[in-house]
Amino acid sequence: MYAHGGTDLLIENFAVRPDDPFDVRLDLSKNLRTRNKTENSYVDAVDVSNNIDSLKSVQINDETILKGVSKHIERALKTQGQPKRVRLCVLLKGEHWYEVQLTIPNEYTLMLEVVSA
């Protein structure tokens, strides 16, 4: 998920609001709620939260999320055309919003490249 190396963080809640802007919301807070503070997901979540302002991209390789986003994109294209704006909200020690470019480079990957914070 994070641009400073690969991390595998759990997404506790995922939501899409398929209007314009097309909003994608990821709740990563669960990674900070662990008893074992040496766990990789905890350490990575702390690193991401400490450097959240320099977030460059998010890559999601979850089939359920990918199918859900694809379904919402298809509906949006049919009803209102291509959304002019796509935003990402990352919930991790607060709410962090980014303007992003959303791409699906293959059937297994959703990419969200940060355009501006």
User: Looking at residue 4, what is its pLDDT?
Assistant: 43
pLDDT digits (tens, 9 = 90+) for 76-107: 888 888 888 999 999 999 999 999 999 989 88
| Amino acid identity at 108 | Y
**pLDDT: is 7 or 32 the higher one?**
32
Is pLDDT at 50 greater than 50 in this prediction?
yes
26: pLDDT confidence band, cut at 50, 70 and 90?
Answer: very high
Q: Which run of H or E residues covers position 19?
A: none
pTM over 0.85: yes
Cα–Cα dist 107/10, whole Å:
20
Torsion sign across C-alpha atoms 33, 27, 64, 109: negative
User: Looking at residue 83, what is its pLDDT?
Assistant: 86
User: Looking at residue 6, what is its pLDDT?
Assistant: 67
5: pLDDT confidence band, cut at 50, 70 and 90?
Answer: low
Cα–Cα dist 14/106, whole Å:
20
Task: Kindly list the domain boundaries of the chain, sorted by start residue.
Answer: 13-116
Helix and strand element counts for the chain (H, E): 2, 6
